[in-house]
Structure 1
Amino acid sequence: MSSAQQPSSEARGSSWGPFEAVRGLRPGGVIPQVTPIRRLLSDVPTSADPYAEAQAALEPLRPRIAPDARIAVTAGSRGIHDLVPVVKAAVDWLKSVGAAPFVIPAMGSHGGATADGQKEMLAGLGITPGSVGCPIEATMETVVVGTLSDGTGIHHDAIAAKADGVLLVNRVKPHTDFRGPIESGIAKILAIGLGNHVGAASLHAGGIPSLGGNIEAAARMVVAQGKVLGGLAILENAREKTAAVELLEPDGIAGVAEQALLQRAGGLLGRLPFDELDVLVIDELGKDKSGAGMDTNVIGRCWVHGIPEFESPSIATISVHSLTPASHGNASGLGLADVIPARLLEQVDFRVSYVNALTSGAGGARRSRLPMVMEDDEATVLAAATMCGRRDWSELRLARIKDTLSPNELMVTPALLTEVSDRFDLEITGPARDLTAAGRLGPWSDA
């Protein structure tokens, strides 16, 4: 919703009276000051050069690349730290063996389910003809390459279908909606991402219980067409940096090899250092942070079936305060929050958000619901604390993070500091300070 569509807080006038009541209520006292802390991570595998590692991983494909072959290289997933260098490595390597590579979006319904919208999203991720050294071609058109046992058509990007080969690039990680042998990775980018809007919608239509199996079956069906060269699988560590880049052969996609990568990725995933919180304050959500806006593996919420589905962490209330510019108004996952400030609502493009939600099925419906809306950041935090169930706010277990890609840099209240002193993996990085100032969240540093 643009500022032109949404009246300012001054124009709303008396309709915002309840927020002053929240400020006056303060049932638990006052919000304690917060202290910045950092989680210390040791023995974290890290790629020294993702570009070089990606190029080396591609060498087994050399005998399979015909001169001047048009090879489609996928790009699309958000929040991948080294997406640009890995995609560029693939493009440069393909050129070096005589191919004619080009990049195609593999984004399902994102970008408002338009080709131009998906190109715009790729540009927001740093993927442009100039940055990767090749053309970017996009379409929403698909071809049907087969059907599942229940009659669901398997759609495949029309440009990819006409190419001489397809090289998939994606991060392998636990999915934000379900658990299974194959979750988020190479099979998903092939089945969902390259299915474009209609393909993503058809695979999601059966609901989350069938999604994992549908992804596996659809990916194998597309691989059987014979044009998939393989997938560059990116694993990331708990510092959100690349841990490894490996080639997944076509017969390993949606198979044992991809299952093994998923198990490794799950062990590397960054998580909050606390299992129980009263309030989690998140500065930003966005499609560049997670496909779900906020990584459900970090916040412990899924809401696909209306209730939290992950055992930990347990967080009573969550406030989210802004939408990332790279989301282009797509507020997917906003329903995972409990309270937001009005300025976040003004950043939402409801058309783009609802196209994504409608494609995602039941999970999209629940995650697109609006949280409680407060006047500003201060009122938002006060509302979250009021509803968290903690009677005495001097004992409030509140943590603040920038986004769910950054769970190792936090600000915490004194009730959590007592645990920090007992943890070898946590350290204090600055002095205590007020969480909000003049109605807005305070800065992360004193600089």
Structure 2
Amino acid sequence: MNLPKMALVKQQFSSQKIQDVESHLVQELNNHLPPLARGSTVAITVGSRGISNRVEMVKTLIEYLQSKKVSPFIIGAMGSHGGGTPEGQMEILHSLGFSEETMGCPVLTSSDVVEVGNTPHGHTLYCDKLAWEADGIIVMNRIKLHTAFRGPNESGLLKMITVGLGKAKGANQLHRQGPEKMSATVQEVGGSFLNTGKIIAGIGIVENSFDETAHIHVIPPDEIIERERELLNVSKDYFPRLPVDKLDVLVVRNMGKAFSGTGMDTNVLGRTKIFGVPEPSTPSIKRIAILDLDDGSHGNATGIGLADFTTEKLYQKVDRKKTYLNCMTSTYVQRAMIPMILSTDQEAITMAVESLASDLPEQLRIAVIENTLHLEKLYLSETLLPEVGQTVSVQTEPESFTFDEQGNLTFFT
């Protein structure tokens, strides 16, 4: 088949970032963390997302608290991820660099929650039992667009309270509301939990388009809702997108939890696969081929159902139990459905092109990306090059798709 020739291009994104993350965080803590009683215990939430510099930030926070004669500990706060078990979540924490040896404090996981109250509309406030038994909790999370719902509060500190601390029960309760009510539910549950007085502070992180730390803010509990809304708008300005809105084929080399909660960010794909909810009008992509699953996802292939074609190597890495639990908890079961499985990258890409039944396949609109998080560099078919704006520079002359002897795509290698 005559596939289009592809050129490597580079997008120009804002490169604003914090140069010294540790010093910046210490300054924020000095300015905004309230005084804590000597000998008190503080739980620090750590989730499963691949947040840049998080190990350094958590380590800095721990050392700061210890210098104030406070006893911190890390609590795994990740809903149903890791198979929803303490062992699975501990495996994720260790893989991210969080252990008692590296952090200098206890690292704990639990599936037990306690009910600590109710919201005005009858939602239950769930909290990880170990975290609730602490004298206080510091919630830390990245603030960004969510992959399933829209609203003034999306992914961030309130969602960490609702789902991270709420574990599987909190996640189930949230997702049962449906996408149209999830932002309001996060606000209500998170806000009601803040009223318990258990949250000492929130640490909100915003990353730039290069997955680098651009903002760190230590936020008092009574300001978390409004400050998170402001930082969500900031994050939208950084959000990396494809340089064109319409594609015939998108090839994604790698998916996984390190790149998005859905393995592939729905905001990049223009697909949500939520039954009964219309798909976004842009971007519009006719076929998606996903080639591999990142090892850091530990077999969780949530989001594979967003694609149309995949490979045998990816399928062999899928842990169905972890994947199904994640999708059952979210209620978005379509995201666990397996696409057509081909033996190699080459066959998956070729099949995606053939499925369009084009008389001129060499003129199709195709893009190849490493993953949906890192979009600075990507390959575009030569037919797309006249459409890109001044923020995109062409790095190479158009070249044919290249594969190794095993049929693996060699772009980005």
**Do both share a fold (TM > 0.5)?**
yes
1:117 aligns with 2:84: no
SS of match in other structure, 1:167: strand
Q: CA deviation at 1:416?
A: 2.0
Return 5+ residue gaps in structure 1 as ranges: 1-28
Q: 1:281: which partner in 2? A: 251
SS of match in other structure, 2:300: coil
Q: Following the alignment from structure 2 to structure 1, what is the Cα–Cα distance between the partners of residues 48 and 298?
A: 15
Q: CA deviation at 1:351?
A: 0.6
Which range is displaced more, 125-134 or 46-55?
125-134
Q: CA deviation at 1:236?
A: 0.7
Q: CA deviation at 1:79?
A: 2.4
Q: 1:329: which partner in 2? A: 299
Q: Given the alignment, which residue of 342, 349, 353 partners 1:374?
A: 342
* Partner deviation per Cα, 1:285-304 (whole Å, 9 max, x = no partner): 11111111111111121121
Q: Is the 8 A contact 1:142 1:155 kept in 2?
A: yes
| AA at the equivalent of 1:395 | Q
Q: Is the 8 A contact 1:170 1:189 kept in 2?
A: yes
Q: Given the alignment, which residue of 180, 187, 206 partners 1:235?
A: 206
Flag the 1:226–1:149 CA change in 2: closer, same or farther, 3 A.
closer
Q: Is the 8 A contact 1:36 1:410 kept in 2?
A: yes
* Partner deviation per Cα, 1:390-440 (whole Å, 9 max, x = no partner): 4411211111111111112112222123335x6343231577242433353
Q: CA deviation at 1:172?
A: 0.2
Which range is displaced more, 169-178 or 302-311?
302-311
1:76 aligns with 2:42: no
SS of match in other structure, 2:182: helix
| TM-score, normalising length: structure 2 | 0.95
Flag the 1:188–1:339 CA change in 2: closer, same or farther, 3 A.
same
Q: CA deviation at 1:191?
A: 0.8
| TM-score, normalising length: structure 1 | 0.88
1:387 aligns with 2:355: yes
Q: Following the alignment from structure 2 to structure 1, what is the Cα–Cα distance between the partners of residues 91 and 398?
A: 41
Q: Following the alignment from structure 2 to structure 1, what is the Cα–Cα distance between the partners of residues 347 and 207?
A: 36
* Partner deviation per Cα, 1:159-214 (whole Å, 9 max, x = no partner): 11000111111000011001101000010011111101122112212222221111
Flag the 1:332–1:394 CA change in 2: closer, same or farther, 3 A.
same
Q: Given the alignment, which residue of 47, 50, 69 partners 2:18?
A: 47
Q: Is the 8 A contact 2:49 2:261 kept in 1?
A: yes
Q: Given the alignment, which residue of 35, 38, 41 partners 2:7?
A: 35
Superposed CA RMSD in Å reads 1.9
Q: Given the alignment, which residue of 275, 291, 303 partners 1:305?
A: 275
Q: CA deviation at 1:389?
A: 6.0
Flag the 1:75–1:430 CA change in 2: closer, same or farther, 3 A.
farther
Q: CA deviation at 1:445?
A: 5.2
Fraction of identical pairs, as percent: 35
Q: 1:291: which partner in 2? A: 261
* Partner deviation per Cα, 1:50-75 (whole Å, 9 max, x = no partner): 22212211113554211121111111
Flag the 1:388–1:243 CA change in 2: closer, same or farther, 3 A.
farther
Q: Is the 8 A contact 2:32 2:218 kept in 1?
A: no
| AA at the equivalent of 1:441 | N
Q: Following the alignment from structure 1 to structure 2, what is the Cα–Cα distance between the partners of residues 146 and 73?
A: 21
SS of match in other structure, 2:166: helix
SS of match in other structure, 2:165: helix
1:357 aligns with 2:324: no
1:423 aligns with 2:395: no
Q: Following the alignment from structure 1 to structure 2, what is the Cα–Cα distance between the partners of residues 65 and 224?
A: 18
Q: 1:316: which partner in 2? A: 286
Q: CA deviation at 1:343?
A: 1.7
Q: CA deviation at 1:443?
A: 2.4
| AA at the equivalent of 1:317 | R
1:141 aligns with 2:108: no
Q: Is the 8 A contact 1:282 1:318 kept in 2?
A: yes
* Partner deviation per Cα, 1:215-274 (whole Å, 9 max, x = no partner): 111111211111201111110111111111111220122x22211111111111111112
Q: Is the 8 A contact 2:254 2:293 kept in 1?
A: yes
Flag the 1:82–1:206 CA change in 2: closer, same or farther, 3 A.
same
Q: Following the alignment from structure 1 to structure 2, what is the Cα–Cα distance between the partners of residues 443 and 262?
A: 36
Q: Is the 8 A contact 1:62 1:97 kept in 2?
A: no
Q: How does 1:39-188 map to 2 (within 5 A)?
A: 39-41=11-13, 43-188=14-159
Q: CA deviation at 1:147?
A: 2.4
Which range is displaced more, 255-264 or 411-420?
411-420
Q: Given the alignment, which residue of 235, 238, 245 partners 1:268?
A: 238
Q: Is the 8 A contact 2:302 2:326 kept in 1?
A: yes
Q: Following the alignment from structure 2 to structure 1, what is the Cα–Cα distance between the partners of residues 404 and 278?
A: 32
Q: Following the alignment from structure 1 to structure 2, what is the Cα–Cα distance between the partners of residues 419 and 129?
A: 52
Flag the 1:418–1:295 CA change in 2: closer, same or farther, 3 A.
same
Q: Following the alignment from structure 1 to structure 2, what is the Cα–Cα distance between the partners of residues 107 and 431?
A: 43
Q: CA deviation at 1:442?
A: 2.7
Q: Following the alignment from structure 2 to structure 1, what is the Cα–Cα distance between the partners of residues 197 and 58?
A: 22
